[in-house]
Amino acid sequence: MTRPALAALLLLAVTACAGPSETAIPGTTAADACRPPVEGFAVTTDADGKPLPKPTENPSQETKDPHTISGPSTATLTDHGIDPVESTQEPSLPVQVKSCDGKSVQVEDVSRIIAVDLYGTLAEIVFSLGLGDQVVGRDTSTGFPEAARLPKVTPSAHDLNAEAILALDPTVVLTDKSIGPPEVLEQLRASGVAVVFFDDARTMDGLPSQVRAVAAALGVPERGEQLVRRTQGEIVKALSLAPRDAKPLRMTFLYVRGTAGVYLMSGPGSGADAMIKSIGGVDTGTDIGLTKPFVPLTSEALIRSQPDLIIVMTEGLKSIKGVDGLVKLPGIAQTPAGRNRRVIDMNDSELLGFGPRTGRTVEALAKAVYAPARS
């Protein structure tokens, strides 16, 4: 996917796919790759609906008023690695999957998996399910250490390469509509590879459904339930880091790629809004009435938003020569965030992935906002 195409993609509202109901072939189990999220992500209950333990203490209660903090900081995970669930369950195959593009796909073999999307989420889920040894290729966004040895199938930014994928002889490809081009995925199907599309929305609410859908498609639903319970517990713990009594900070997420001339402001449904809400902030894009996940950045929108801090991806910040370059963008100097150089950056593959490491992501972001480390 080219940079202009990526920008166009981000301007589109992310919607759930809908496919016709399918009847499983006798002798197979059935799975739905396009499961809608449960209404209101139940971060206070486990996968069985049982209450999770309440956080014992809020470590940010004693921090200073967050409005008085100035200067940039980086949100960093304490552990970038993947922690697979422990399970003896072997994949139960074949699985008849209702793919999110409306196709019916039979998954017969998961010995050679390729999982690709714009954020690296699908690969993170596969590795967390304990199937990392069966993954044979990765996309550019899959940046955790366990996948570093794998060859990339996106040699040009986020564009999939059919030859690179077929050279790895995959038995199943997991993907979504956030990555392409679609002609490549159709070419893979025509060659006989099982290609399963999943919901491309990245939200806190959709995380349990996404994990369960991937696990079911790979024939390990029990591992999926284990991973959902663990991830929910980590998120509950991380959500307690935001101060309860301080006036909420106004936060803006900007997607910037200076080398490509891409400057976007996030709104509802971007994924950034869920992250901001999770750490006790006010998403300014939603607050000023934006109706799309991403819109072109304007000085008028920034000045109207008046963010106390700005969140960006680390590589995006580098592309505009750091905080010095960011504050020169039109409108930023006229905001509290610009005047105080209050900028938080985070690794591109971790900030909006909404995978099994989301609890760690929320924790790192909250610490960078409310208790930033200073060198």
DSSP state of 40: S
Architecture of domain 3-41+82-235: 3-Layer(aba) Sandwich (3.40)
- Element housing 359 (H / E): helix 358-370
**Tens of pLDDT along 96-144?**
999 999 999 999 999 999 999 988 999 999 999 999 999 999 999 898 9
Q: What is the pLDDT of residue 59?
A: 44
Counting every residue written for the chain, the total comes to: 375
Burial class (CB in 10 A: 0-12, 13-18, 19+), 97: buried
Q: What is the pLDDT of residue 243?
A: 75
Q: What is the pLDDT of residue 161?
A: 95
Residue among 177, 21, 38 nearest 98 (CA): 21
Asked whether the domain spanning 66-81+243-370 has the same topology as the one spanning 3-41+82-235, the reply is yes
The tokens describing 184, both together, are 């490549």
- 347 vs 315: CA distance, rounded Å: 7
Question: What CA dihedral angle connects 58, 59, 60 and 63, to 10 degrees?
Answer: 130
Burial class (CB in 10 A: 0-12, 13-18, 19+), 133: exposed
Residues 6+ apart with CB under 8 A from 366: 60, 238, 241, 242, 279, 280
Query: N- to C-terminal Cα distance for the chain?
Result: 38
Residue among 362, 196, 356, 359 nearest 276 (CA): 362
Q: Hey, where are the domains in the chain?
A: 3-41+82-235, 66-81+243-370
The tokens describing 15, both together, are 């919607």
In contact, 182 and 49? CB cutoff 8 Å: no
- 201 vs 176: CA distance, rounded Å: 9
- Residue ranges for the chain with pLDDT beneath 70: 1-28, 37-63, 374-375
Q: What is the CATH number of domain 66-81+243-370?
A: 3.40.50.1980
Q: In what order do the strands lie in the sheet with 95-98?
A: 29-32, 95-98, 104-107
Rounded to 5, what percent of the chain is helix, strand, coil?
35, 15, 50
